[in-house]
Structure 1
């Protein structure tokens, strides 16, 4: 059924409407405004902007509940360049896996052994095959293990199981759900910005008039059946309608998976829906542990890695504590540790009470350090992206049955590329930089450029 309104209703008209004030939507708006397309509005369902960039301040210190790193301190990374321009980067070191590796019972793993394994694994990750990422990594590990002394292989396998948990964090979900084939293009050096990523969001929003960003405006439907697109919006208890020549939709892949049937009129083409369903939208939880009296010295833990047996790794499909692979110092908060849980069990952690999480993580730390006097954390704070109705997960990855082209298909304009009216941006539309802030920013600029080109073509047709 069409959304078109029968009765007389006041409708605001815009040249461009952007759905979502994450980094993709804000970057699109910024580009349009800078190119003299001023009649633009950004519709944001929440009371805040930034999307999956969300800096929460606790005792004056910034905690990144969502995106945390600039993936690539390189001039080809638009987010890195933006951070440099706005003097947001100081002398932060590249994020690494440095730090001790432990086995249960307080057993240290030889650092040289750990580093050698990681180096070998990074080399094989460049190989693209048809298996799941987990199966491919397991096969390659068997080959690598032959280069190590027999006496070291049991310990090596336990460190490898940590590496798989770390890889789940990188990819966003269980490795058996993700293909080893990918066109992802990695840049060297992950940077953890001090002072809060919210400053990055503010730097983009500064170039957009505040009146153009409409918070608490939840888009219910986008009717693109005619050249003027009609958008139905809920704000508080009120329903509003907007018209636009162009709409850029930047909602998350998780939101698309859950809501595409009701969000678009007419229904999205099967080709696009298939691509949406074949990609994975990750499930993960960040957990911050606060201590009034930290039991570590600054830069002593860095990233404390936990090696685990095959048996314990297998338990992780049903028990979330076996998907905790590390505890990491938080750059801006010297009394806080960060850990994460990704995969099938992550959804169990979000609704759990902090007392239960604290108890399990404390027992884990005590078991690995062999210090049963370690204190419980004074406070636990966790992210809640899986249950966030406007996000429903973390970030995208190529599913086991997907093709790299699926990212492109989600990003295709409707009705077609020759006459784009409904456009799509967001990290899940980036074939080479999915799951990243720079992928999201690139995609927003890409679609804004497409609109600028189309407006110029339409002008010369007149």
Structure 2
């Protein structure tokens, strides 16, 4: 018998994050009858993960809707399901373009326990912002004066600061602020150091208008709302995939049954036949298992692009306090280490100095109802080392830092809780970035379906989605969702015959 075709095609989606859920929704709503999601963990959402802490909700994973405006599909879905507050949905909020950086005004403290005034903070932050904007303008120009964003920023900063007329202490504080801002950028990029982020491709990331906003009921409220639209029993949880065998002619059981070009072998021994498989696993997971995850193995250009592309860790450390030591208007507490007179964004001794990679804390909640909670942000190898420590060790180190910078020896958090994305078996980090020697053609390579064009085999056996496959919104939830829709559209276009005289309405991929 022939393999299944059209809306009867058997489609397996590997991973139940927003990309996989988005693909499944689009396919089932289009009328595909045999869609199955295999999820390695016991939950849906992937890197969207909310939990209660204090008396409120905190985000272990994705935090904001970046660019909440009509162009953002995550924002549109959140509005459709009424998951945001009125301010976030307002036209005014959507119209403001913050260029990808939330317009929080940080309160800077130095390691000698001083609060730094605007006369020191503003010149340093304005210089950093203008140079960072300049570093995005090499994309598409074929000009790359330095291989990395870090090298470009450091060289330009040294050039500009050489002309400052400040006294030695003021200059030292300004340099410390610039180092802190480099660490902040590491967290935004998900990179160990900005020396690893490619300069020529840095501007490929596109921002959307709108002031970044959060979900009052947690980001997972969006996942729950989306899951309600899927048929019952579509997801198999706790079912890690061992290998996707493709480009074959598999007959799972009886001779009378159809053959399938793909079978998905699960770690529990289960074999799932498919006409098409959409792989939505993280780039971190692909990096570790790309040699064994597919059989036949990935074509070399895809495997090389997976290796070249950057994928790092950005973790959060949540601290709950009995009462706030910060002002009611405070949104961000930033830390400037005065001994960092030369610019660097990676500590020379990760084990001893890991806590110096913390660029600061955002105020999560600060009221009697939700409690008083700060979130510390830390990226890179320091962040990965932090995952190996006990809660008590993390609490002690971070408490010591806060007491030193705020100049108050009584500061004591009640509780500490942190994310551990690098240790996560099925994620292996946080999100992707374009590293040195990488370009958006690598993103195209990673997202290219198998078999490759020109093959005589049945097309679209294995498709690839996830944030790392979106050429301009990599690292974001909206990039992940759009990539899932893109691969679903690819299968809809392939499987749905054209209506005579109209062409295929779904052919725009």
Compute the TM-score of the two structures, normalised by the length of structure 1.
0.90
Q: For 1:180-203, what per-residue CA distance to the aligned partner results, in whole angstroms no more than 9, with x for missing partners? A: 222111224322222200111112
Tell me the CA shift for residue 100 of structure 1. 1.0
Aligned to 1:369: 406
Checking the alignment, whether the CA contact within 8 Å between 2:319 and 2:416 is kept in structure 1 is: yes
Tell me the CA shift for residue 342 of structure 1. 0.8
Tell me the CA shift for residue 344 of structure 1. 1.8
Tell me the CA shift for residue 68 of structure 1. 0.5
Aligned to 2:363: 329
Rounded to whole Å, the distance in 2 between the matches of 1:442 and 1:115 is: 37
C-alpha RMSD over aligned residues: 2.2
Aligned to 1:7: none
Aligned to 1:303: 332
Structure 2 residue matching 1:190: 3-state secondary structure: coil
Checking the alignment, whether the CA contact within 8 Å between 1:99 and 1:304 is kept in structure 2 is: yes
Tell me the CA shift for residue 280 of structure 1. 1.2
Tell me the CA shift for residue 123 of structure 1. 3.0
Rounded to whole Å, the distance in 1 between the matches of 2:281 and 2:156 is: 37
Tell me the CA shift for residue 106 of structure 1. 2.3
What are the ranges of 5 or more consecutive residues in structure 1 without an aligned counterpart?
Answer: 1-12
Rounded to whole Å, the distance in 2 between the matches of 1:70 and 1:140 is: 32
Tell me the CA shift for residue 112 of structure 1. 5.0
Rounded to whole Å, the distance in 1 between the matches of 2:309 and 2:421 is: 18
Aligned to 2:208: 187
Checking the alignment, whether the CA contact within 8 Å between 1:299 and 1:329 is kept in structure 2 is: no
| The one of 173, 176, 181 aligned to 2:195 | 176
| The one of 247, 250, 257 aligned to 2:280 | 250
Residues 166 and 205 (structure 1), Cα distance of their counterparts in 2 relative to 1, 3 Å cut? same
| The one of 8, 22, 29 aligned to 1:27 | 22
Aligned: 1:134 with 2:164:
no
Aligned: 1:220 with 2:250:
no
| The one of 475, 486, 491 aligned to 1:435 | 475
Checking the alignment, whether the CA contact within 8 Å between 1:54 and 1:67 is kept in structure 2 is: yes
Tell me the CA shift for residue 433 of structure 1. 0.6
| The one of 221, 227, 231 aligned to 2:264 | 231
Rounded to whole Å, the distance in 2 between the matches of 1:278 and 1:187 is: 27
What are the ranges of 5 or more consecutive residues in structure 2 without an aligned counterpart?
Answer: 1-7, 139-143, 249-259, 501-509
Aligned: 1:72 with 2:67:
yes
Aligned to 1:412: 448
Checking the alignment, whether the CA contact within 8 Å between 1:101 and 1:111 is kept in structure 2 is: no
Aligned to 1:424: 464
Residues 355 and 209 (structure 1), Cα distance of their counterparts in 2 relative to 1, 3 Å cut? same
Compute the TM-score of the two structures, normalised by the length of structure 2.
0.82
Aligned to 2:108: 101
Checking the alignment, whether the CA contact within 8 Å between 2:120 and 2:173 is kept in structure 1 is: no
